[in-house]
A and B are shown apart, each in its own frame.
Chain A
Amino acid sequence: QQPVQSPQAVILREGEDAVINCSSSKALYSVHWYRQKHGEAPVFLMILLKGGEQKGHEKISASFNEKKQQSSLYLTASQLSYSGTYFCGTVRQAGTALIFGKGTTLSVSS
């Protein structure tokens, strides 16, 4: 079952922060975050496993609330290079497929 992402789109100026949310109605084994720039393939950002962990990647970090089956991606002090579409992907059980949400388009301007 497909995870639900919000918001659909975010417009920022350089230096501003953003949060992208991902939720599932089913229990999850892991949550994955990817970024895709126009005309390119999705690129891996990070994985969060059940256990409610938080991870960081430069100025991009994420959390996973296992009880609520929700994950959030935090982008701080955004840069122009952060522009793109962010996808949340979920795996319900080990060995099952990676299913993506519909994506959140982030536009950062100077």
Chain B
Amino acid sequence: DTAVSQTPKYLVTQMGNDKSIKCEQNLGHDTMYWYKQDSKKFLKIMFSYNNKELIINETVPNRFSPKSPDKAHLNLHINSLELGDSAVYFCASSQRSAAEAFFGQGTRLTVV
């Protein structure tokens, strides 16, 4: 069983489109994250959810929105995609913030 799973693994889309990336964890964790990793490998935090409540949002454009239907899922919706959105997006979960974080395999988003 995969602990944290993301879909899709690859996503190629045109500028201006709207897309979603799904994330599910089966670990029973209370905290989930979305990170963006650009070509320079910097892991930038985008969102953090604790028991379905957003607890941090790091100056991310409002074209990005997290949606958490339940504690095990944290999906990422992106509107009006731009070239600069191209990156690898990682979902992660942990029992609490000061605990081991488990990462999904990543979604490589390419905007053309």
Binding site for B on A (CB under 8 A): 29-30, 32, 34, 36, 40-44, 47, 49, 85, 87, 89, 91, 94-100, 102-103, 105
Contacts and interface: CB of A to CB of B under 8 A. Distances in A.
A96 B97 CA distance: 6
Interface string B91-112: 0101011111111111000000
A91 B96 CA distance: 11
27 contacts: A34-B101, A36-B41, A41-B106, A42-B101, A42-B103, A43-B103, A85-B41, A89-B101, A91-B97, A94-B97, A95-B50, A95-B96, A96-B56, A97-B48, A97-B56, A98-B33, A98-B48, A98-B92, A98-B94, A98-B101, A100-B42, A100-B43, A100-B45, A102-B40, A102-B41, A103-B41, A103-B42
Given A85-B41, A97-B48, A100-B45, A47 B33 contact: no
Contacts of A94: 96-98
A91 B56 CA distance: 12
B74 to A, nearest CB: 13
B97 A44 contact: no
B43 A42 contact: yes
Nearest to B56: A97
Q: Please classify how large the interface on chain B is, using the bins under 10, 10 to 19, 20 to 34, 35 or more.
A: 20 to 34
Given A42-B90, A94-B96, A94-B98, A99 B105 contact: no
Contacts of A99: 45
A30 B42 contact: no
A102 B95 CA distance: 24
Contacts of A91: 97-98
A110 B41 CA distance: 25
A91 B40 CA distance: 23
Interface string B9-48: 0000000000000000000000001010000111111001
Contacts of B106: 41
